[in-house]
Amino acid sequence: MSHYDLIVLGAGSGNMLPGDDLRHLRTAIVEPDRFGGTCLNRGCIPTKMFVVAAEAASNARAAARLGIHATVDTVNWKEIRDRIFGRIDPLHEKALAYRRENGIDVYTEPARFVAPKTVLVGSERLTADTFVVAAGSRPKLPPIPGLSDVPYHTSDTVMRIDEIPTSVLIVGGGFIAAEFGHVFASFGSQVTIVQSGPRLLMAEDEQVSAAFTEAADHRHRLFLEAQVSAVRPDGAGITATVAGPAGEVDVHADLLLICTGRRPNTDLINAAAGGLTLDEHGHVVTDEAYRTGVPGVWALGDVANHFQLKHMANAEVRVVAHNLQHPGAERGLTSPVAPHAVFTEPQIASVGLTEQDARTRNVDHVVALRRYSDTAYGWALEDTTGFAKLLVDPTARTLLGAHIFGPHAALLIQPLIQAMSLGQTVDQIARDVLYIHPALTELIEQALLDVPSPARTEHS
């Protein structure tokens, strides 16, 4: 048995934890896969590198609206893939060597709790005064009859394929489906999406979800309120039986991509045996400081929160690092909001309440909406569908939510995230800040200026 001051389970965001301030602790990291976790190896970073290439292709084809008549002659998938992973893949060995050279023990076999604060790694039993559980998540597979008998991909594997498929069937209608649908369609694949709900991106504001579904309907074949009831082999590809409002349809595809969500890896580490309490979705239950119910055990990232966003996990690492150093003075996240972006076409960014959230919770609000086509730079883009939508507390004049649908949405939303985090009013960020003309940020300025003014009470 080996005993440590600190054991970190997972080397995604968990690998950020052992810094200079914790160097005095005898530390071990357990990572049975690759350092960098989902984000670096199978998620945020490689997908966005594919998205940038996809945008180059789709922008070339769409340039005719600007009077530029261009064509895309060839998309070299292998060249794109190898450029991306040629940069990413060497980082694992470098990170592993760096940790070992700096006095941290690294275990590369899976860990499973066998008792509170005790894990079995291979045949070795490890204990520690402090555990940080950052074991991540993995794709969730739906119970589709025949799935185990056909070749299929998830986001973990699809970026490593050898060539662009002629046709792709995507099961699911969330972030991952939207981004991969954009990539494969931009590279020339015929994309079919099967979504159980009435729209794509159902978690977004209804207006954004509806606008994206309409845009996707022009690019892809959509089956909404539908299910894949069975799949079977069909030559080198598959045939899926899709059951929807109009009945059953057989759909052939060269590649089947499953994008039906992710599940926390708490079962793989046998979290229950470690005394950890799990919620109904399998996430580790923590308090605001990321303490679990077992003293000395903390949890963060996908294994503990439902956002499954890298920037959230990074912020949580900073909180946990502080809390380990300051017992009795623990803190939680300082920002009250969890922003996100979907790097599809058009791009989407969101923070705070959606309009349907506000209605369901009976939150008093007013709405301001400004379209890209109302701005000078929007004219330059010839954008006819994009918009920024703000939800505002009519009394406090602070932002309750912000949703942007259109080019560069992930950049444009940042000042609104800052305003929500710092409690700034819409009047402050609209009138006390200069916006460059004719930059696209005028979309935000104009949306803020469109927020209805508070009612004035006349005094006699």
Catalytic residues: 437
Distance CA 250, CA 230 (A): 10
Q: What is the 3-state secondary structure (H, E, C) of the chain?
A: CEEEEEEEECCCHHHHCCCHHHCCCCEEEECCCCCCHHHHHHCHHHHHHHHHHHHHHHHHHHHHHHCCCCCCCCCCHHHHHHHHHHHHCHHHHHHHHHHHHCCCEEECCCEEEEECCEEEECCEEEEEEEEEECCCEEECCCCCCCHHHCCCECCCCHHHCCCCCCEEEEECCCHHHHHHHHHHHHCCCEEEEECCCCCCCCCCCHHHHHHHHHHHHHHCEEECCCEEEEEEEECCEEEEEEEECCEEEEEEECEEEECCCEEECCCCCCHHHHCCCECCCCCECCCCCCECCCCCEEECHHHCCCCCCHHHHHHHHHHHHHHHHCCCCCCCCCCCCCCEEECCCCCEEEEECCHHHHHHCCCCCEEEEEEHHHCHHHHHHCCCCCEEEEEECCCCCEEEEEEEECCCHHHHCHHHHHHHHHCCEHHHHHHCCCCCCCCCCHHHHHHHHCCCCCCCCCCC
Distance CA 365, CA 253 (A): 45
Distance CA 413, CA 403 (A): 8
Is the CA virtual torsion 106, 295, 306, 22 positive or negative? negative
Q: What's the chain's length in residues?
A: 460
Beta bridge partner(s), residue 3:
127
Quick one: tokens of 148? 């185990």
Side chain identity at residue 35, one-letter code: F
